[in-house]
């Protein structure tokens, strides 16, 4: 229960809840303690996402490079998730503080994210929220993918039509209401590699209007994509392999996600 934990400080705050650094009273284990107020969830229409996060964790909790759910419970005021604590923060914070990772580290982060996504996909879920802010780092610098409120279970042939996630990481099929499958995560992986290697996303920055970002995405053509001059040939190739406007042409399409590791960039 709530009384089993000592709240130490706030780690982050979102639309639906607050995450605290907490200590388990009986073992001194540090955890990330996520509190989601029920009334707030009702007010912003996010009850479904909060419940989904718990359900997704129940399925994928044993996967590689995934932030583990330790406990979940509720009372009449709130839902509570007790998660592993990642002492080194997230990849977004690390890039702001330390600058761009080396190419070797960028490959390590991408590989670990890809292994996590491969497991999530094999469990039947599309993640839909890959971005540096959701990539936590443990004490060894290894990835822990977090925040599964946007994940959706897909049946054979089913597509997810809700427009959700971070605009800079959304795939064209999401923006055009065609619905997405697992290939939307492959697209996001390409955006992540580009950001890790350049410091920005390929279709716009936070300061750009959403309309301008959408316009660039809608006019994106894989064959005419350009890159910063310091990108080597393999980096350009892997990004283009993932950022194809036609999802059927993306490397790893159709359940062949493990094929991405055959690319020479890895």
Q: Which residue has the tokens 């706030």?
A: 10
* Contact between residue 52 and residue 149 where contact means Cβ atoms under 8 Å apart: yes
Catalytic site residue from 118, 129, 147, 185: 129
Q: How many CA atoms lie within 13 A of 235 on its CB side?
A: 21
CA–CA distance from 243 to each of 57, 215, 231, 247, 248 (Å)?
28, 16, 15, 8, 11
Instruction: Mark residue 47 as left, alpha or beta (left: phi above 0; alpha: psi -120 to 50; beta: remaining).
Output: alpha
CA dihedral 262→90→222→159, nearest 10 degrees, is 90
262 is catalytic: no
Token pair belonging to 257: 């996600």
How many beta carbons lie within 10 A of that of residue 70, not counting itself? 17
Residue 180, beta-bridge partner list: 160
Residues 6+ apart with CB under 8 A from 114: 189, 257, 260, 261
Backbone dihedral region of 57: left (phi > 0), alpha (psi from -120 to 50 degrees) or beta?
alpha
Count CA atoms within 13 Å of residue 263 on its CB side. 26
Local structure of residue 255 (DSSP, 8 states): G
- CA separation for the pair 241, 257 (Å, rounded): 12
Catalytic residues: 129
């Amino acid at each position: 229960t709530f009384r089993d934990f000592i709240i130490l400080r706030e780690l982050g705050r979102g639309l639906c809840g607050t995450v605290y650094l907490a200590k388990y009273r009986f073992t001194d284990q540090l955890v990330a303690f996520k509190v989601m107020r029920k009334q707030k969830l009702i007010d912003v229409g996010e009850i479904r996402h909060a419940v989904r996060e718990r359900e997704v964790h129940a399925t994928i909790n044993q996967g590689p490079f995934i932030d583990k759910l330790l406990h979940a419970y509720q009372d009449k005021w709130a839902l509570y998730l007790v998660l592993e604590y990642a002492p080194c923060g997230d990849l977004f914070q690390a890039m702001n503080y330390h600058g761009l990772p080396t190419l070797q580290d960028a490959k390590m982060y991408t590989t670990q994210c890809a292994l996590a996504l491969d497991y999530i996909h094999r469990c039947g879920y599309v993640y839909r929220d890959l971005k540096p802010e959701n990539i936590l780092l443990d004490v060894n610098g290894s990835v822990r993918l977090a925040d599964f409120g946007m994940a959706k279970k897909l049946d054979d042939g089913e597509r997810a039509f809700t427009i959700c996630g971070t605009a800079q990481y959304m795939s064209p099929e999401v923006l055009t209401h065609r619905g997405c499958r697992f290939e939307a995560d492959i697209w996001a992986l390409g955006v992540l590699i580009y950001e890790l290697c350049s410091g920005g996303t390929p279709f716009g920055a936070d300061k750009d209007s959403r309309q301008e970002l959408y316009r660039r995405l809608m006019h994106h053509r894989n064959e005419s994509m350009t890159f910063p001059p310091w990108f080597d040939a393999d980096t350009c190739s892997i990004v283009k392999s993932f950022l194809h406007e036609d999802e059927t042409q993306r490397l790893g399409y159709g359940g062949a996600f493990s094929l991405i590791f055959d690319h020479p960039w890895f």
